[in-house]
Structure 1
C-alpha cells in the first residue's frame, strides 16, 4: 500500500469515528490553547513588568534589598525601610552624568490607593511600554498646592473627575492612620491608562505633602498630639526634608555602572542604586517556581488529552478487528497496520494543535486590546514565537508517540489474524 493510499485510508477511518475522535481533538485543542496562553502570558507579564519603568536608568533609595527597593518605589508594594535626604537628591541632580532626577515620596493613601508625591518632571520623564510618555486623558498636571492627578484606574473605580475634592490619609491602607480632612486636594487631571502602577496612584506635589505634614497652614494634628497653631507656610516649610526614592535618567547609558559605584560610595548617607532590569531579573528568579507550576499545569492537561487519544483508539481496536482483517486480506502487512494507527494519531493531534493555535490567535485578536488596556499585558497578534513552535512540536510528537501503544496492539492483532487458520496471509 502506498503512502498516499495509507494517508487517505487514515483520514477515512478517522472520519468514520469522528464523534469519539472529535472529543479527543477538542481536548487536545484546549490543551494547546492553554499551553500557548501560559507561554504568551508569561512573556507578556515579564515584558509588562520591564516596561513599567522603561525610561529609567537607576532607582536610588536607602540601603535595602534591590528587589524591595524596586517593589515599593515603582510598584508601590511593601513599605520602605528608610528615606533619603533631600540634599542627597540635589547632589544626584548636580552630577554631570545625570540628565534628570524624579523624586518619589510615599506613605499616604486615598481609599487604599497609594499617594505618590513627586515633581512635574514625573510627567515629562517617566516612561512606560516602548518608551511611551505619560499622557493626560483630561485636565492638566498639578502646578500648585493641594492639586492631584489621578491614575486611570483610580478615576474609574472611585468615579472621580476634574474638580472633585479628595481627602488623603496618612498610611497605606483603607483605615490606617489619620486623614488630612483639613487639607483636601482637588483633582486637576486624569492620566490615560498605561497598564502600569501609574494607573493605581494619586499623584500630588512634594510641596502638598509637606504642607499636610508641616503642622502649619491649617494645623495638621499628629496622632496623640494637639493641632499646631495655624500659620502661613514659607518656602522653607514646603521644601522636602526627605523622600522615599529617586528615579534617575543618565545622559549616557554607558555611564550607568560608574554612577552606581559613586552612589554606593556616597559619603553623606548610605544609598543604594539599582538597575531596574537587574532587579527584575532577581524578582523573576524568586518567582520562577510559579512559572514552572503554570507550565506544568498546561503540560498535565496536554498529557490527559493525549491519554484520552490512547483510550479512544485502544478501546476501538476490538471493534475494528474486522477492518484490520480486511486490510490484511488486500495485502496490508502488520507494519502498515502499525503505520496506519500512528498516522491516525498524528492527524488527530495535528488537527487539535492547529485548532488550539487558531483559538489562541482569535483570542488575541478579540481580547488583546482589552487585556493591554486593563492589565498592561501587551499581547499583539503575531506569528508564533520559537518557544510556542516548540510547544506545538512537542504536542505533535507526544500525540504520535501516544499512538504507539494502540498501534503496537493493532500490530499484534494483525499478526495473530494473519497466522490463524481463518486469517488472511
Structure 2
C-alpha cells in the first residue's frame, strides 16, 4: 500500500499544474465551509459573553432585539429615552438588588460614549460572571473624568492623564465637539473581548453638563466653562436604558410584567438570554443559507476534481497499460487512482485550513473594530473536524468513478490509440 501511495505522489508531482489547480479548488471550498462555521460560532460566543448576571434590561417601549442591541452591544439607537424618575422608582423596588443606568448618544473618534455611575464598575459582569477590572488607574470621581476601554486606549494610543474631547452624536465632526470641556482619563479597563473595550465611560452628570446650551443636537446657547460647571450639581433628566440585578431569580418574570405595565411611561423589560435567542432565531435563516451555499461550493470543488481526474485518465491510458504490462493488477490501478484522489483532497483540506487561519488572523481586527465581534484563533473544534472528515470522505467517493473506469481498462485498450 505504501508503494502505491508513493507512486500516486510521484504521479501528482509529474502533473503539478493540474494537481495544484485541483488542490486550490478544494482549498477554496474548505475555506468557505470552515469560515462560515467559524464566524457563526465565534459570533455567537462573542455575543453570549458580553453580558452576564443581569436579570433584566429596561428601556423605552421597543422590540426586544433592538433594546438588546443598543443597550449591550452599542449597535443602533434607542427609539426614545426614559425618564430619570422612572429609573429611580424601579431601582428602589424591594425586588431590585442593583441597577445600572446607561445614557448613550455621544461619541469620541468613532467610539461610543456611555454615561453611567459607579454601580457599573461594581456590578456589571461579562463572560462567566467576570467583573470589570482596571489595567491602569481607577473609576471616575469628578465631573470631567473618564474611564476608557482597552481598545480605545490601544487604537488611539491614550495614557492616564490624557485629555479627550467628546462629540455630540454618533458622527464626530468639528462642529459637534464639546471643545471647551475636555475629559481627563483616570482609568483604563482591562480587555474583556466585549463592546466595553470600545466604550468611553463618563458620569451621568457629565452628560448633562456638556449639553448645557445644546438643543436638539445644535449648539444654540452659551456653554459655561469647565470650572463653572464643576461647581454645580447635575442630575440627569433622561437616560437611555438601565440594567437590573434582582435579589431572587424567581421574581424576574413578575417584575418584568410589572415594568411592562408601568403607567407613567411606556417601558420594555427584557431578559437578555431570551432576547439573544430571538436574535439567533432571526439569523438562523441566513446561517442555513450560508451553510447551504458552502455545501454547494464544496460539491463544486469536488466535481472539479472529478473532472480533472477523468480528463487526466483519458491522457493516461497508455501509462495504465504500461503498469499492467509490468505486472500491476487491476486492483493496483484502482488503488492508485483512489490514492491520488485522497491525496488531492487531503492536500486541499490542509491548504484550505492554513489559508483560513491566515485570513482570520488578518481580518479579525477589522471584524472586531467594525462589528464588535471578537474572532478568536482557536483550534479546530470537533464539529470542524467532522466537516473536514466529511469532505475527505466525499473526495474518496469522488475518486471511485475514475478508479472504477481505470479498473475496467484492458491492456489492449490502453495500447490502442483511439482517434
Q: Determine if the TM-score, normalized by the shorter chain, exceeds 0.5.
A: yes
Secondary structure in 2 matching 1:12: helix
Residue 281 (structure 1) aligned with residue 277 (structure 2): yes
Q: How many residues align?
A: 408
Residue 235 of structure 2: aligned partner: 239
d(CA) in 2 for partners of 1:376, 1:228: 38
Which deviates the most, 202-211 or 273-282? Answer: 273-282
CA contact (8 A) 1:346 1:396 kept: yes
TM-score between the two structures when normalised by the length of structure 1? 0.81
d(CA) in 1 for partners of 2:178, 2:354: 54
Residue 307 of structure 2: aligned partner: 311
Report the Cα offset of residue 285 of structure 1.
Answer: 3.2
Report the Cα offset of residue 204 of structure 1.
Answer: 0.6
Residue 78 (structure 1) aligned with residue 69 (structure 2): no
RMSD: 3.7
Residue 324 (structure 1) aligned with residue 320 (structure 2): yes
Residue 258 of structure 1: aligned partner: 254
Q: Which runs of 4+ in 1 moved over 4 A?
A: 228-237, 326-331, 335-340, 354-364, 366-376
CA contact (8 A) 1:195 1:372 kept: no
Secondary structure in 2 matching 1:318: helix
Residue 409 (structure 1) aligned with residue 402 (structure 2): no
d(CA) in 2 for partners of 1:312, 1:416: 24
CA contact (8 A) 1:170 1:176 kept: no
Residue 4 of structure 2: aligned partner: 9
Which deviates the most, 233-242 or 182-191? Answer: 233-242
Which deviates the most, 67-76 or 173-182? Answer: 173-182
CA contact (8 A) 1:74 1:197 kept: yes
- Runs of 5+ unmatched residues, structure 1: none
Report the Cα offset of residue 244 of structure 1.
Answer: 0.6
d(CA) in 1 for partners of 2:397, 2:139: 62
Evaluate the alpha carbon distance shift between residue 152 and residue 234 of structure 1 in structure 2; reply closer, same or farther with a 3 A threshold.
Answer: closer
Residue 119 of structure 2: aligned partner: 121
Counterparts of 1:160-239 in structure 2, within 5 Å, are: 160-175=158-173, 178-213=176-211, 215=212, 220-222=213-215, 223=218, 225-227=220-222, 238-239=234-235
Report the Cα offset of residue 290 of structure 1.
Answer: 4.5
TM-score between the two structures when normalised by the length of structure 2? 0.82
Secondary structure in 1 matching 2:269: strand
CA contact (8 A) 1:116 1:203 kept: yes
Secondary structure in 1 matching 2:313: coil
Report the Cα offset of residue 368 of structure 1.
Answer: 11
